[in-house]
Amino acid sequence: MADSFFVIAIDFGTAYSGYCYSVKADASDMRNPFWGKEYGLRFSKTPTCVLFNENKEFEKFGFDAVMAYKNMSSKEALRHYFFENFKMELYNKELTPDLMISTKDGKLLPALTVFSESLRYLKNHALDEIEKNLFCRFTEEDITWVLTVPAVWGPEAKQFMRLIAKKSGLVKVLNSESLILALEPEAASLWCKQLPSSGFIAERGAHEILETQKGTKYIVVDCGGGTIDITVHEVLENGFLKELQKASGRGWGGSFVDNNFRTFLREVFGEDVWDVFEKNHPLYAQSMMYNFSIQKCTENHAYIFFSCVLSLIKLAEQKQEISHFFKDIDGVSWCDGNIKMAQSKFESFFEDKITHIINAIKDIMEEQKNQIDTILLVGGYASCKILRDAVRSTFREQCKVLCPVDSHLAIAKGAILFGNNPKIIMSRVSSLTYGLRILIPFDPSIHDKEKITVDKAGDTIFCNDIFMKLVEKGQSVNINDVCDYVLKPLYDDQQEMHFAFFSTEQKDPMYTDEPGMKQIGSFVVPMPVTKLGRQRNVRLDIKFGTAEITATATDLSSNETQNIILEFLTESKATN
C-alpha cells in the first residue's frame, strides 16, 4: 500500500454506486466518471442493478442493466435475472459464502456471484477510465483500493466484502494491504471537514462551514438508500478524529420510502391488478419506481405528477374506469394519464422513516448532553429536501444542520482521503465484546462444577471455557494501539498453544459457551523449546480499532508466530 501510485475508492451503494480516483501524491485532484451519457443522462453514480442472462452469466451493470432490462419484451425479461437494492442482503443477516439472494420475481443466484460480478464491472470500468484519461499504464501494485461499508454493518458483512473483493479480482488475498475498508460516515466526515462554506447547501441564503477546531463535536448522519448510519465525531489536535460512541441506525434509507410508494400503488389498484402488473411487466414497474425516486430529490411543489404506463392503465381498466381507483383517496386524483398527488400526501411516504431518524438523533443528543455543535447530513438520500427540512426544523435551535453540495459523492471522495491517510481516525468504539477461551484454577465459589477439568498429571483442577475479556462493547479503542497479553503453558512439556477467539453482545460474560457467543477465529502457536517448562511466555498482540481485527501470537522462546484476521462469516470457506 505504501508504494501505490493511485487510490481508487468504490462507493458500492444500495441504490446507486460509483467511484472516485486520484493520484496518491495529489489527493486534491479527485476525478469521477459520469454515467448514462449514452442515454442522454449525466449522473455521477449509476444504479446498483445487475443483469444476468438465462444461463446465469453476467451481462450488464448500472444504467446498461436497467436500459437493457427495460427494453426487453416481458417474456424475455422473465428469463433474465435482474437484481436491485441487493446490498441490503448483507444487513443484519447470518452470512455464509454460499448465501443465495433473490430477484423480485423469485429467481435465485449466489450472493457472492451477484456482488463480485458487480464489483468486477466497477473495477474494470475504473481501470479503463484511468488509462483513458491519464494516458498511463500501471500494474496491480500501483493501486490502493478503498471499499466503503456502512458503519452499522456487523463484522460479518465487512468480512464478506473482503471475500467479494477477492472473488472480483480486486485483490489476490483476503488480507491484502492493497484493500482498505472505509466506514461510510467516517469517509464523508473527512470530506466535509475540508470543505469551504460554498461546499454546503445554503438554506435560506446562509453559508456555513463545519467547524474543525479541537473539541468540536458533531453528528454524522449517513443517509443511504438502504441504511441510515449515525455516528458522533470529536475533532482532536491536528484535525484527527475520535469516534465518541458506537454507530447506530437501522434500515431507514431512501429505498424504504420507495417501498412505501409501491405499497400505496398496490393498495390503490388492488393485489389482483398491481401484482399481475409487476409480474408480467417488471420493466415498466421499474420505470415507475425510478420516476418516484427522482421526485424525492426535487423542490417542494403543491402537486407532484407521476406518469402511469399504458400497460398498467389497460390492466386496471379491465376492472373499472381508472379514475375510479382514486376517487376516495385524499390528496390523490387521476389527471390526463398521470397520478396527481398533493405534496402533503407525497410527504406521508417519508413520515415513518424520518420519525425514526429524528428520534435516533434525539437519543444521541441526549447521550451527548446536548454538546453537539453540528448535525452533518451526507449520502444520496440527504439530497432529499423533505428529509433535510425535517431535521432542520427539529434541531435548528440546538445546533447547525449542514449538508454538502453533491452529498452523494461525499463518501467516495472522503474515502480517497482515508485511503491516503487511514490513521486520521484516531479511535473507534467497539461494537462487540471480544475475548479468548482460557483455563484457570477452579474456584468452587464462583465456577460451574460442570466446567471442571483436571490436568494430565491429575494434581490440578481447572475451570474450562473461561472467557478472558480483551475489549468490551462500547469501549473506545485507539486505532494505533496494539493490546498485548502474556499467557503461559499449562504443562512443562507443552509444545503448542491453542487460541480460540469469541465475540458477544454481552459486556461481562463468564463462559465462552453462553448464549450469543460466536467463535470468530482460532490458531495454534508451536512451542518447540520446552526447557523453561511453565515459565515460558506467549505474547498475544491484538489490534482492535481498525475496520477488521487482527491477532498475532508469538512464542517468545522460539519466536514461532501465527497471525489471523478474525473470521466472522458463518461456516466460512474463505482462505488466504
All structural domains of the chain with their residue ranges: 254-348, 430-565
Residue 51: Cβ-neighbour burial (10 angstroms; 0-12, 13-18, 19+): buried
Angle (deg, nearest 10), helices 282-295 and 254-269: 120
pLDDT for residue 67 = 86
Q: Which residue has the cell 453476467?
A: 58
408: left (phi over 0), alpha (psi -120 to 50) or beta: alpha
Alpha-carbon span 489 to 529, nearest angstrom: 12
Q: H helices within 138-237, ranges in order?
A: 155-168, 184-193
pTM to 2 decimal places: 0.83
Alpha-carbon span 49 to 15, nearest angstrom: 8
pLDDT for residue 571 = 44
Sheet with 49-52, edge to edge strand ranges: 58-61, 49-52, 81-84
Contact 244, 217 (CB under 8 A): yes
CATH classification (class only), 430-565: mainly beta
Beta pairing partners, 206: 203
pLDDT for residue 567 = 60
Amino acid at 490: L
Beta pairing partners, 502: 435, 519
Q: Please, what is the end-to-end C-alpha distance for the chain in angstroms? A: 18
Alpha-carbon span 241 to 192, nearest angstrom: 13
Q: Which three cell numbers stand for residue 43?
A: 449522473
Residue 235 sits at φ, ψ, to 5 deg, of -80, 125
Other CB atoms within a 10 A radius of the CB of residue 275 amount to 12
From 271, 223, 287, select the one nearest 249 (Cα to Cα): 223
Q: H helices within 248-309, ranges in order?
A: 254-269, 271-280, 282-295
- Look up residue 341 and give its DSSP letter: E
Other CB atoms within a 10 A radius of the CB of residue 415 amount to 32
CA angle at 294 for the pair 304 and 200, rounded to the nearest 5°: 105
pLDDT for residue 152 = 82
Contact 401, 393 (CB under 8 A): no
Q: Which residue has the cell 486534491?
A: 28
Alpha-carbon span 67 to 70, nearest angstrom: 5
391 Cβ contact list (under 8 Å, min separation 6): 221, 357, 358, 361, 375, 377, 401
pLDDT in tens, the chain (576 residues): 456 789 999 999 988 999 999 987 677 789 999 998 888 778 899 999 999 999 999 999 999 998 899 888 888 988 999 999 899 888 777 788 889 999 988 999 999 999 999 999 999 999 999 988 887 777 777 899 999 998 888 777 888 898 999 999 999 887 788 999 999 999 999 999 999 988 998 876 667 889 889 999 999 999 988 889 999 999 998 888 999 988 888 889 988 898 899 999 999 999 889 989 987 887 788 778 878 877 887 777 788 898 888 999 999 999 999 999 998 899 999 998 889 999 999 999 999 999 999 999 999 999 998 899 999 999 999 999 999 999 999 998 999 999 999 899 999 999 999 999 888 888 888 888 999 999 999 999 999 999 999 877 677 899 999 999 999 998 988 877 888 999 999 888 899 999 899 999 999 999 999 999 998 888 888 999 999 998 999 999 988 766 667 888 999 999 988 887 776 555 433 333
CA angle at 498 for the pair 492 and 500, rounded to the nearest 5°: 145
Contact 319, 276 (CB under 8 A): no
